[in-house]
Amino acid sequence: MKSISDIRADFPVLNRTVYNRKLVYLDNGATTQKPQCVIDAVSEVYESYNSNIHRGVHALSDIASEAYEESREKVRAFINAGEKHEIIFTSGATGSINAVAFSFGERYLGPGDEVIISTLEHHANIVPWQMTCERKGASLKVIPVNDDGEIIFSEYLKLISPKTKIVAVTHASNALGSILPVKDIIDAAHEAGIPVLVDGAQAVQHGVVDVSSLGCDFYVFSGHKVYGPTGIGVLYGKEKWLSEMPPYQGGGDMVESVTFEKTTYNSLPFKFEAGTTNFAGAVGMARAFDYLSELGREEIAERERELLSYATEKLSAIPGLKIYGNAPDKISIISFTLSDIHQYDAGMVLDKMGIAVRTGTHCAEPVMDRYGIEGTIRASICFYNTREEIDLLCEGIEKVKLMLGSK
Amino acid sequence: MSVNDIQEEIIEEFSQFDDWMDKYNLLIDLGKNLPAIDPKHKTRDYLIEGCQSKVWLYPDYDGVNVNFTADSDAIITKGIIALLLRVLSGRAPKEIISSDLYFIDRIGLRQNLSPTRSNGLLAMVRQIKLYAIAIDAKR
């Protein structure tokens, strides 16, 4: 693997200051910074071959269409999907889940049916299902979690019933970091003939994800959390589902023929890509995948495990600091509270020291409710972070305690 | 003193600090010394929920002026509340309605009242004005 200083030099934002201090960026769970090669790839689209895809008969449209379809192939390879047409470009993980919740719900959900999710879901994997359930007269069933932030598998098995039509779970919790046993969840659902959607927004950037060996029916993630541009995301779906599901948006490029009497839809993946997609974003995201592969995805995972263990050890030693989420298998996220200090105050003070963390409920209010807390401070680490930055976070926390302790 | 006199006074007080931590220490002190809201008014009816911190705001009209008491679960938010109340509380409804708050910007705390920083403060300023408008309309 490249040296850490070479890696950090690849990311322009990491080398800036805030409030005249060195930026310590520990909010990678919200979005990751972009390497120069991704920024260049997006610029190149606009500088060299910008043109609408799949429509023009001219040279630039051919180049753009080809770059877009090459990106699709790179996404397929990145998650080891079976077929290229099983990869749909969307606006992000949220867009992907909304697409499945609507289309799958339209086709397969009816009154009395049930959808299983877990307590650890981001709002993006709760609300779209609630909306679908409301429309269809179906209901949500929620897998509980234990004190360490792991789902209780035996309770999940009890929720599976003939009424269950789909299981939608996160691969890793954005609020606590727990990695869910998705393979076991999928196997148990499949035994009952139930499809599974996995929200990979917090997982694909941390290691190798292989949707073929997982066997999931849908897998979704966002480009901007995988070092790619914002506004682009992926919906992987098995052909057998995607071909049966109705489109969720109508428009150009998703049709085969249109008359005012009847429209027939285009084949996969275009059926689910109405209108001009974010093709520059797709190209940028594919470049990010190349970058991660060049670094080595196993090496990235190893480096992040090492940083997580260092940070956990250092933070645990701070009196009054309590870590939420102690599952043995975690992505490099540490969520914590500081005894009597409000997380918003802590975040404000850390910010002025140049330390970027996220505070609050992390769009996962049910997780906060489960532990009876209003929110946490979340440090989300990735491979370009350093032990020195974790030390700076710890120093920052000591300063926060001095300023804000025992109000 | 007029609304703007007090705003100038606050700007002057904050101008002595170059370091952010000194500004925050002052806000923390102001927050700690904010007169307590009557617990019976710390209810859902008077709650302004931000997604980062909560604010409670209670208006009391004495026939001439509107006196506000407020609280927050976050101490820095509470410090900013203390400043807002110093400027706006104890004034006639019309004075509150026509006030133009510029001191927040000038002391470098604008991000705390931005619509994207949902700590409840922006909603609180709106609520102060809405109470004043409602009281003024009833008179």
Give chain A's mean pLDDT.
96
Say which DSSP state A117 is in.
Answer: E
Encoded tokens for A159: 């929720």
CA distance A344 to chain B (A): 6
3.40.630.30, 3.40.640.10, 3.30.920.30, 3.40.50.850: CATH of A39-293: 3.40.640.10
Question: Please, what sign has the CA dihedral across residues A99, A105, A108, A113?
Answer: positive
Facing residue for B74 by CB, picked from A19, A344, A399 = A344
> Region B43-50: what's the mean pLDDT?
86
Residue B116, pLDDT score: 61
- Rounded CA gap, A374 and B77, in Å? 16
Residue pLDDT, tens place only, A84-128: 999 999 999 999 999 999 999 999 999 999 999 999 999 999 999
Residues 6 or more apart from A393 whose CB is under 8 A from it?
A24, A26, A311, A315, A350, A355, A357, A379
The predicted model gives A198-215 an average pLDDT of 97
A348 touches chain B (CB under 8 A): yes
Confidence check: pLDDT of A406 > 80: no
User: Residue B62 has which token pair?
Assistant: 């004495």
Q: Interface of chain B against chain A, CB under 8 Å?
A: 20-21, 24-25, 28, 31-32, 51-53, 73-77, 119
Which tokens in the block code for residue A373?
A: 């807390």
Per-residue pLDDT of A324-347, as tens digits, reads 999 999 999 999 999 999 999 999
pLDDT band, residue B108 (cuts 50/70/90): confident
Q: A123 — contact with chain B (CB < 8 Å)?
A: no
pLDDT above 70 for B15: yes
**Domain limits, chain A:** 4-30+296-404, 39-293
Which one of A21, A337, A348 makes the best mutation probe of the B interface by having the most chain B beta carbons within 10 Å?
A348
CATH of A4-30+296-404 given 3.10.20.30, 3.90.1150.10, 1.20.120.1200, 3.40.50.1820? 3.90.1150.10
Phi and psi angles of residue A245, each rounded to the nearest 5 degrees, phi first: -75, 140
Q: How many domains does chain B have?
A: 1
Integer Cα distance of A269 and A246 in angstroms = 12
Contact list in A for residue B119 (CB cut-off 8 A) is 344
Say if residue B117's pLDDT is above 70. Answer: no
Contact A26/A357 with Cβ under 8 angstroms? yes
| Arithmetic mean of pLDDT, A312-317 | 98
Active-site residues of B, by number, are: 51
Q: What is the pLDDT of residue A407?
A: 45
Whether A269 contacts A85, CB under 8 Å = yes
Asked if A173 contacts A202 with a C-beta cutoff of 8 angstroms, the reply is yes
* B2 exposure class (CB count in 10 Å sphere: 0-12, 13-18, 19+): exposed
Given pLDDT bands bounded at 50, 70 and 90, which one contains residue B110?
confident
Residue B43, domain CATH: 3.90.1010.10
Residue range of the domain that includes B106: 3-138
B contacts of A354 (beta carbons < 8 Å) = none
